[in-house]
Amino acid sequence: MVGLLRSQGRYGPEFREVLPVLAGLVLALSGAVAGVAAAYRALGIGVPLAVLALAAVAVPVLVRRHRPSVRRRLGYYTAEEIADLDVAGLALAVARMLRRDGWSVRFPAGERVRPRLQARRGDGQRLEVAFRPVAEPLPDEDPPAPPARRPGDGPPLRLIVHRGAFGPRDVRWTRADGSTRLMDGALLSRWAGGTPLHRLIDLR
């Protein structure tokens, strides 16, 4: 069970992976407390409050950048890391990014050759993610007219993730289909870097 959860990115980092970060945080916090106390005595309450606010923003960023394995488990990837992944690794990365953005994610059984993801958001929005490893065409048939959609109503939105670029024909088909969204390499890099999915893709 632990191996399965770890392969799906749901088990979390091991203790030995986060121990150096925790030790560094303890030392940094000890020094920060001493510095805040000295600043409070010398300059008053304003400077210590400003320092604490800055630390609250800076510490998580430093932890993610300093420990790549922890950063990736939290759903943050560099463009180079995304480019080096195979399809299964890309599916795992996308699952982590979805969880980072507040989605619950599952891997449907029997999807090992061409992995897919099924995701659900707290408001009932559902998403099915497929991965396009090569420049293969989208369906040729004319899509039906898209019905009006509400979160959780009808079939889920389909998101096709591709590290390359989609052609004009793909874009035209997707616009007519109404229930499919495309994520190319440029959008994927921005998502991996921390931009929330809803700011990159129309999920309505």
Over residues 22-62, the pLDDT tens digits come to 777 788 778 877 877 777 777 777 766 776 777 677 666 66
pLDDT at 111: 58
pLDDT at 184 over 80: yes
CA dist 203 and 129 (Å) reads 13
If you average pLDDT over residues 161-180, what whole number do you get? Answer: 88
CA dist 170 and 146 (Å) reads 17
Q: Report the half-sphere exposure of 195 (CA within 13 A, side-chain side).
A: 11
- Percentage of residues of the chain with pLDDT beyond 90: 34
C-beta neighbour count of 157 within 10 angstroms: 21
- Which pair of tokens denotes residue 147? 């019905």
CA dist 81 and 197 (Å) reads 19
8 Å CB contact between 129 and 116: yes
pLDDT at 197: 95
Residue 106, C-beta contacts closer than 8 angstroms, at least 6 positions apart? 117, 118, 119
Give the pLDDT band (50/70/90) at residue 5. very low
pLDDT at 147: 44
Q: Which of 140-149, 150-159, 175-184 has the lowest mean pLDDT?
A: 140-149
Residue 6, C-beta contacts closer than 8 angstroms, at least 6 positions apart? none
Burial of 142 (0-12, 13-18, 19+ CB in 10 A): exposed
Over residues 85-137, the pLDDT tens digits come to 998 899 999 999 999 999 999 988 765 567 889 999 988 899 999 998 644 44
Domain coordinates in residue numbering, the chain: 2-73, 79-199
CA dist 28 and 57 (Å) reads 14
* Region at 9 (left for phi over 0; alpha for psi -120 to 50; beta for the rest): left
pLDDT at 10 over 60: no
Domain spanning 79-199, CATH architecture = 3-Layer(aba) Sandwich (3.40)
Q: What is the DSSP string of 61-95?
A: HHHHHH-HHHHHHTT---HHHHHT--HHHHHHHHH
